[in-house]
Structure formats: C-alpha cells, structure tokens
Structure 1
Amino acid sequence: MTFSLFGDKFTRYTGITRLMNDLNEGLRTPGAIMLGGGNPAQIPEMESYFKQLCQDMLDQGKLSEVLCNYDGPQGKDALLKALANLLCDELGWQISPQNIVLTNGSQSAFFYLFNLFAGRYANGSCRRVLFPLTPEYIGYADVGLEEELFVSAKPNIELLPEGQFKYHVDFEHLSIGDDIGMICVSRPTNPTGNVITDEELMKLDLLAQQRNIPLVIDNAYGVPFPSIIFSEATPLWNSNIILCMSLSKLGLPGLRCGIVIADEKVISALTNMNGIISLSPGSMGPAMAIEMIERGDLLRLSKTVIRPFYKQRLEHTIETIRRYLSPERCLIHKPEGAIFLWLWFKDLPITTEVLYQRLKKRGVLMVPGHYFFPGLEHEWSHTHQCMRMNYVPEAEKIERGVAILAEEIERAHKEAGFGVPAL
C-alpha cells in the first residue's frame, strides 16, 4: 500500500503528535506528573458550573435539539449573533455575525488559514507564513500542505530582575518579503506566556496592511475570554486582522470549538472549507456558549474565577521553582498569560531533548523546546536549552515534578564536571 504525498506528510510522527500521546498516556498512568501537555485545569467552580448548565439544558430539552441536528457550515447562528453583540458591546468592534465562523477546534482553523493564504498559488508562486517572534505554538509546525511553509524570526531577549527574561520582536532585522502571505502571532503566547506589547502589535498590523496580507492573532488564552492574561494588553481587531479564539481554555477542550473573527470574504471562504471538510462544526460547545452569554456568565467567570485561579497557581509554581532552582540554573520567561512557564537552562550541558527523556523515565512529562521554533532557518543553541512546563497541576505534583527536574539538572552538570555555580 502506497500513500500519496499528502499521506506521506500527514502520517509523520511529529512534535504535536508526541505531545498529545504523552498527554493521553500520562492521564492514564498512575503517578505520572503531567507538566507537559496543554490540558487546562479542572477548576472545581467551573466543573460545578458546567455540570449544572448541562443539567439545565437537559431539563429544558435543549440537549436533544443540539445532539440531533446539524448546524450550518458557518456554525450555530444563535452563537454567531450572540458573540457579535457581545464583542460590539464589550470592545466596541464593528462586527456582525457575518464576521464570525466556528470550527472544530483552533487546530482546524489554523489548518484552513495557513493553507488559504500560504502555499502554492495559481501563478506558480509560493508564499509562506511569517512568525515574527519565536518560539511559537508547537501545533503550527506541521499543518502546511506544502513543505517549508513557515519562516520565523529570532527575538530580542531582554534580561529582567529575579531571574526572568522576555522576548521582543526584533523589528530592526524583521524581513517581510514578497513570499510572505500571512503574519501570525499568538497573544498570550504558547509556549512562553509572552504577551507582545500593544506597540509591537500595532507595528505588525501596519506592516501587514502595507503589504496587503492578513495579520492572524491566536487569542486562545486572551481577552475578553478566557482572560488568562496577567499584563496590560489592548484587544485589537480590524478588517485586515484574523482573530482566533476558543472555548477550550474555559475548561472545555473536549468540545473542540474554535472561533474565527475576520473580514466577510475570509469568513465565507472558511465556511465553504468547513462544509467540504467536515460538513459543519460541532454543536455542543456553541450551545453551551450561548447559554453562558445569555446568563451573563462567560465574561464574569473568565474574570472572577478562571483568571484568579491561574494567577494563584502561577505564583505558587514560580515560588516552588525558585526553592529548587536558582536563576543561575534556570531563567523563567516573564509569565504574562497562558497556562505555561518557559524555562531557559542557559548553561545546561545536555540538550533539553535528553533532559525530556530522563524526566519521562522518572514519570515527569514536559516538552523540549526545539519543537517550538517552526521555520527557524539557522541553527540556534537557544532552541535546545528551553522547556515548556504546564503549571496547572496540584501543588503537590508541581513540587514533586520540580524536585525531580532539579535533580536531573544537577546530575547533568555533575556528569559534565561542573559544580554548583557561585551565587
């Protein structure tokens, strides 16, 4: 049996496949410490809320209606209208239901978008997706139909007090050639928790408009929901911006509901792609989101439950890391949002791929950093010095995982003949 070129490309074992396999196996392995995957936290208050919401929908006969009918390829009409009204009222954006389409998760949305604006054109030319700031989301790396669909730019690194650092867009060396069909950023960024500044975002928007290409913003963790963001960040949207959102980080990843906000021409294109590839988006997530909006709960719970929960977990995890790992051993990217910490082991004598394998043998799952640099054209040692850590598990698991991490880092230094650095 022989696969097509499409089959050869999309049957490879990739970084995102390994991450999801680790997540699946770890959840079913007693004692495993899950510091790698992107599962959101099971927040007790949110779990109780969702249980009651589903019970109310069942009692009112709404679940049967949802489960037994297709929605249209653009997604559930009532949610498109409710979201448009919510965003107009909350953010002042001039959008209508025709500016919104739903997809079966954000991963599907990015498959559509990357291949809509990049790849091979009718005139024989090829265009690529530019990531102006890496590291970026691991799930982007393998969704292109064409090889070498991505190009990314190295960041400027600002060293900060208390063993932290922050990535910035290096506009001085940022090159946007005629072969770029789209600019893409995530805000907050998975894996680093970085939030590019308002100034950086507006500069990127201007550059995209000047070149008549879209700026895509992955807003899966951002405002106005789920609001897992801990720095000042003004939401931005206009007809040249494609904004991607999700219900996953509310605590509903299994519902696979992505949201794309864009110009009507883009929405029409994505709607047609939905119809061809999956008939229509799933209905359960949109139905629950409608109820949350109508009850006034979507933004309220994001601000008063979800964000404070993650903020507390984040602060506790950083405190734990610092009890076991000094800044000389481990730098931490300034945590401005999302559900991860990005750790930089600047002087580690082994690669973080080797460190990942050692941790996995001891039941600790993290993600080595080299997977998060799609399209980086030149070798950079920094890519092998970083790891992504999910900080949402319980405090006891975080402490056990960090203790094992510290032991393996010290082991690596001792094997290489290095002692503990002077403080």
Structure 2
Amino acid sequence: MELSPIGARLAGLSGLRSIMEDVASCTAGTAQDEWLNLSVGNPAPIREARDMWHEVLSTALAQEFDRASCRYGPSRGSAALVEAIADYFHRAYGWDLGTDDMVVGPGSQMVCFAAAALFSGPGPAGMRKVVLPLVPDYTGYQGMCMHEDGIAGVAPRIETEGAHRFRYALDLDGLARQQDIGMLLISSPGNPTGRSIDRADLDGLVALAEERDVPLFIDHAYGAPFPRIAEVGAEPVLHKNVVNCFSVSKAGLPGERIGFAIGAPQYIGALAAVMSNSVLHAPQLSQAAVALALRSGRLDEVTRDAISPYYRRKKEFMEELLADRMPSDVSWRSHAGAGGMFSWVWVDHPWFVDMELYRRLKEKRVFVVPGRHFFVDAPSGPLPDSHATRCFRMSLSAPEKVIIAGVERVADTLREMRDEALRP
C-alpha cells in the first residue's frame, strides 16, 4: 500500500499517541488498581457534572429522539443549539451573534483540524504554518497539520517564583519574528500547564493577527465561560480576526464530541463547509442536550459550584504533596497557577531525561507523560538547553490515593536517577 504524503502524515504515530497505546497495551487485562495512571487526559468523574449530563441527555432522548437522531441535520449545527449558543453568549458577554457567526463540530479538536486544513500549507506565497504562540501546548495540535514542517512553536520566557514554582510567559517579540503564519492557535488555559494568557497577551495576539490578516484561534476547552477548570486571565473577546473555540468535553462530556466555534463569517463559513464535506454534522442528540444545559443555566451552575472548586482543590493538594514528598536536594519546579487538569513539573538537572523517567516509572507500574511531546521540535530560543526533555506531566483527575502513591514513586525514581548520575 502506498500512501500519499498527506496520508502518510495523517496515518503516522505521534510520540504521545505511541505512549497512549503503550498505556493501553500494558494495562490490558489487569485489575484497575494494579497501575497508577497519572497520564490520563480524561476529566475527573465529578458527580454533579455526571448527574447534570445524565439529566439533560435523558430529557433530549425523551423529547428529541425522532427529530435529532432519525434524520440528518444542518452542518452548521442544529437550530436549537445554535439559538442556545447565541442566547447564552448574549447573556454572558453581550455578544450579538447571527447564524453565520457560529459552527458546531464533533469536538473542538475537529474544529481546529478543519482550521489547520484551511489556513496552513503550501501556497503561492510559500508555506503558511499553524503557529503555536506559546509552547508547551496541547500535543494534539501537532497531529492536525497535513504538511511536513507545517507547524511551528514559539518558545516562552521562563519566570521563576520561589524555590519550587515557575511559569511560562508569552514572548510576543519572538512571535512577531515568525514570518510564515497561516493561523495562530493557542489553548488558554493550556494543556499541559494550566497557564492562561492575560489581557495584555490577548491584546498583543489580536494585534498581530490583525496586522498579518490571519485568524487567531483560541481554544477555551479548559477555560471561560465553562468549564473554568483553571484560573482565567482574560475572558473571550469578539473580534474580526479571532475565532473562539469551546467544548463541553472537560465539563464532563468528552465521549459525546460536541464543540463549537464563534467568529467572523468569513472563517466560520469555511469551517462549516469542511464539516459538511467531512462529517456532515455533529451528533444531534448530544447537541440537543448541550442546548438544554445552556438554556437552563445548569452548565453554569455545575461549573461554578462543582467543576472549578474540584480542580482548584486538586491543584492545591498536588502542590502540597510535591513539596512534602519530592527530594529536597533535587532542583524541581511545578508550573504555577490555580486549578487545571495537570501538574507540569520541570526537573533542572543534566542527569534527568523525561523518557528515562517514563521507562523507569513504567517498571514500577506508574504512567506519566514525557514533556517533549508538548513542544514543537523541542524549541530553543529563550528556553534553557534541553528544557523540553526535562519536564513531565501528571494528571490531577485520578483519585487522591493514586496521586499520592504515584508521586511517591516519582520521588523514589528521581533519587535513583540522581544517585546513579553521582556514582563514580
């Protein structure tokens, strides 16, 4: 079988995907408590979110099944959900949205994939790239580009805080030096760090997008207005060069694949055409359920009272645990911020390599995610040498007892790696 260049790229196995398959292979046929899985990207099973989605899905099934599931629907999104989105964002932000300003897709990842197909690749002026303004960022973005060398990342500045905290800062000057921008794409708050762009960052990104006449896609899957699983530095803005992407996955409904984008008709119309030509439309029964959750205010209620507090507590718990259990003579820092689904840890020693940690932990039946997979080509620039291979990600979605045992094994493994490096 001979694949096309695009086919070969799309059929390829990314670094993170290979590790996810490794996790599935290693844990197949074993009891759930035999492995400590801190690599999982699933949202936590929060009871209030589960109950809310069960209720609205049951209502949709009872009231909308014939209309939603037994016939095709519009590629742009069901009339009920498009209307509910317009009403919700008018209440939340005062936005006046028309049908041409919105498109629903089977998850925000599919929306971003469609955008990469539309706005990156070779053209009359040369290669135009998907540019990630602040890496590390969601590793799934790297699999969206269909062309070799079609994605670029801009290295951040590092700001340290105290003995064991740090944060990444957007390097707008470095971004402005990027000449081949087809689109800008950033998650805020982000995966893996939970960091959020502030208003000054947002203004700078919008100004650059306007200057270059390119779209700025902002993925709010972790942020405002829902599910707010991390602190939000800047609320979404409506601008002719901004496409805001939203999802209900991290609000507790990842399996139903519903996401939507809001932006200028010139961008939204093209995205709707891709939906029509690829998937026809997103699942309609799930769209009906999301419409109910938006109209009733239940999604806001669960976000405020259950989802946001849960992740804030888990982040605080992890910070306290790391401070208590990590080796005192190892230079480590976790990324600062309130909430988020993950803990992002930087071990600043020449003897530390993320894949070696992964290998050793797997022998101890623990899974984490090596940091290199969240960088594009392990960027240099403002970052210290080898920074991308000296980080790793741990999930906060696991039960506390799993996190405790996992962090203890991480700490033991770091001691082993340090002792072996210092041995004559």
TM-score by length of 1: 0.93
Mean Cα deviation higher: 2-11 or 312-321 = 2-11
The answer to whether residue 4 in structure 2 is matched with residue 4 in structure 1 is: yes
Distance 2:359 2:370 in 1: 9
2:122 equivalent in structure 1: 120
1:163 Cα deviation (Å)?
1.2
1:289 and 1:409 map into 2 onto residues whose CA distance is: 44
* CA-CA distance at 1:356 after TM superposition: 0.8
Equivalent in the alignment of 1:384: 389
Contact kept, 8 Å, 1:74 with 1:280, in 2: the verdict is yes
Question: 2-side partners of 1:368 and 1:227: how far apart?
Answer: 25
For 1:265-280, list aligned pairs within 5 A. Answer: 265-280=266-281
Structure 1 residue 326 displacement after superposition: 4.9
When residues 27 and 227 of structure 1 are mapped into structure 2, their CA distance, relative to the original with a 3 A threshold, is farther
Deviation at 1:124, TM superposition (A): 5.7
Q: Distance in 2 between matches of 1:22 and 1:40?
A: 20
My pick for the range that moved more, 261-270 or 176-185, is: 176-185
Q: Distance in 2 between matches of 1:163 and 1:119?
A: 41
Partner of 2:49: 46
- 8 Å CA contact retained: 2:9, 2:147: no
1:304 CA displacement: 1.2
Q: Which runs of 5+ in 1 are unaligned?
A: none
Superposition deviation, residue 189 in structure 1: 0.8
Which structure 2 residues correspond to residues 54-133 of structure 1 after superposition, within 5 A? Answer: 54-58=57-61, 60-121=62-123, 123=124, 125-133=126-134
Displacement of 1:67 in angstroms is 2.4
Q: 1:224 to 1:418 in 2, by over 3 A?
A: farther
Distance 2:28 2:284 in 1: 26
The share of aligned pairs that are identical, in percent, is 31
For 1:371, the equivalent position in structure 2 comes to: 373
Q: TM-score, normalised by structure 2?
A: 0.93
- 2 CA distance for matches of 1:372 and 1:55? 38
Which amino acid is 1:173 matched to?
G
**Alpha-carbon distance, 1:45 to partner:** 1.9
1:377-408 deviation line (CA, Å, top 9, x unaligned): 54940001000111111110000110111111
Query: Which whole-Å CA distance do the structure 2 matches of 1:288 and 1:214 have between them?
Result: 30
Local SS of the residue matching 2:143: coil
Equivalent residue letter for 2:392? M
Deviation at 1:29, TM superposition (A): 3.9
Does the CA contact (< 8 Å) of 1:231 and 1:336 recur in 2? Answer: no
1:315 corresponds in structure 2 to 316
How many pairs align?
A: 417
Distance 2:237 2:141 in 1: 22
Residue in structure 2 matched with residue 260 of structure 1 by the alignment: 261
Q: Report the Cα offset of residue 162 of structure 1.
A: 5.0
CA distance in 2: counterparts of 1:33 and 1:101, whole angstroms:
39
Give the whole-Å Cα distance in 1 for the aligned partners of 2:358 and 2:134: 24
Aligned mate of 1:414, from 412, 419, 422: 419
The amino acid across from 1:397 in the alignment is V
1:136 paired residue number: 137
Q: 4+ runs of 1 displaced by more than 6 Å?
A: none
Shift in Å, 1:279: 1.5
Tell me the alpha carbon deviations over residues 36-62 of structure 1, each in whole angstroms, 9 at most, x when there is no partner. 12100011122222223333334x332
Contact 2:131 2:184 in 1 (8 A): yes
2:402 aligned partner: 397
Q: How far did 1:24 drift?
A: 4.5
Which shifted more, 196-205 or 5-14?
A: 5-14
RMSD of the TM alignment (CA)?
Answer: 2.1
1:353-385 residue CA offsets vs partner (Å, 9 max, x unmatched): 111111122221111011111255549400010
1:356 to 2:361 alignment: no
Q: What's the counterpart of residue 153 of structure 1?
A: 154
What is the CA-CA distance between 1:321 and the residue it aligns to? 1.6
CA contact (8 A) 1:22 1:37 kept: no
Q: What amino acid does structure 2 have at the position aligned with 1:362?
A: K
Q: CA deviation at 1:311?
A: 1.0
How many angstroms apart in 2 are the aligned matches of 1:295 and 1:307?
19
SS of alignment partner, residue 250 of structure 1: coil
Write out per-residue CA displacement over residues 306-346 of structure 1, whole angstroms, 9 at most, x where no aligned residue.
Answer: 10111111111221122111574420001244311110011
Moved more, 44-53 or 16-25: 16-25
